[in-house]
Amino acid sequence: MQEFLLGLLSFLCTLRCLTSVDWAVVVQPEVRGSMGKNVILPCVFKHPRQNTYASKITVKWIQNRVAKPIFLCSLRNQTDRQDLTCSDPRSPKRFWLHGNPRRGDLSLGINDSQFTDISRYICRVELDYESYQSRTSTLLNITAPAEILNLTLDLQAQAQGGMLKCIAQGNPIPSVKWMSLAKSQETVPISKTENSDYTVISSIPFSGQDVFTCQAVNSLGQAERTFPPKPLNDSGLLVWISALGCLLFLGMLVVVGVVVKKGRNAQSHLTLQTGKICIDQPNDTPIYANVSYGERHLPLETPVRGLNDPVYGHSKESTYIERR
């Protein structure tokens, strides 16, 4: 009886192994992304009922083997379904499913990648009859060139002059060095250095009679900042002055154009009003078109019969009067 049970268990284990052979979830061991850029974590799967399965597919992405997935969505494996996308409303908006589960693609997309996304990720798929996950995790590594976040003077850190504090970040973690202008950019010994994840904090004693430069360097780039801040150089000052002069000149042209336009409009309005007065003024004196504008001329003198006219029993002398 004992031998029978052992044989049955062996047969069941063998059958289980045979049915599980076709299961596969394949991921990349490591994915590299750049700070602030989008990154894709590839994951594909297949199962024994790949061509006949028509039920629900559940996709899960787990970070650092935490029980609660960072991304979870479900859809049915039917081509006539309308739910073409698989999204998780509870997940941060930066996480989204890049692949199509109906075609065995469970790849995860991450928007605007940050240092906090550096971790290990596990891809898992669940069907109605069985679930499977990747045997190995994917390590996501986010790289970034050296960058100086802040350079400040802490007056309370030391009795004399204070301490200059330079905060830099990057991946790989940058190295920080200080240079002195008074000593011809000679390297200054660092008094204190603190490393936190991908951030470096470096401090040196500050002398008010000197100018110090903090420089951060890693394999992807370098950055530097000076304290006290550098004033604008001569070329930069000339550029600003030239730009300001151009703006002032354009402003003057606009003002002059407006004034000239208003003057022309006022003159035209006055001319029209003047012409209307001359034409409409009540007077019986005719105005001739061949005379200057605004002038009034008397007509030719016309003879008027006087009292001596023969008709009235007077002389034929004629008298001329002006018509007024």
pLDDT at 138: 97
Residues 7-36: b if buried by 16+ CB within 10 A, e if exposed: eeeeeeeeeeeeeeeeeebebeeebebebe
User: What is the per-residue pLDDT for 187?
Assistant: 80
More confident residue, 51 or 132: 132
Q: Tell me the pLDDT tens digit for each residue of 190-206.
A: 877 888 889 999 999 88
pTM: 0.62
Q: Which own/partner pairs from 90-99 qualify as long-range (CB within 8 Å, at least 24 positions apart)?
A: 95/61, 95/70, 95/71, 97/59, 97/71, 97/73, 98/40, 99/43, 99/44
% of the chain surpassing 90 pLDDT: 39
Sequence-distant (≥ 6) Cβ neighbours of residue 149 within 8 angstroms: 167, 168, 169, 199
Give pLDDT, residue 21: 44
Residue-wise pLDDT for 21-65, tens only, equals: 478 999 999 999 999 999 999 999 998 888 888 899 999 999 987
Task: Decide the pairing of beta strands 30-34 and 138-154.
Answer: parallel
Residue 299 pLDDT > 90: no
pLDDT surpasses 60 at 136: yes
What's residue 89's pLDDT?
A: 87
- List the single range of 27-41, 75-89, 155-169, 170-184 with lowest mean pLDDT: 75-89
Q: For residue 148, what are the β-bridge partners?
A: 168
> Which CATH architecture is the domain 144-227 placed in?
Sandwich (2.60)
All structural domains of the chain with their residue ranges? 21-136, 144-227, 232-276, 283-324
Contact 220, 141 (CB under 8 A): no
* Residue 323 scores a pLDDT above 50: no
DSSP labels for 133-175?
A: E-SS-EEEEEEEEEEEEEEEEETTSSSSS-EEEEEEEEESPPE
Which pLDDT value is given to residue 98?
94
pLDDT band of 84, cuts 50, 70, 90: low
Question: What kind of fold does domain 21-136 have according to CATH?
Answer: Immunoglobulin-like (2.60.40)
> To which H or E segment does residue 46 belong?
strand 43-46
pLDDT at residue 74 tops 60: yes
How confident is residue 260, by pLDDT bands cut at 50, 70 and 90?
confident
In the prediction, which pLDDT does 179 show?
92
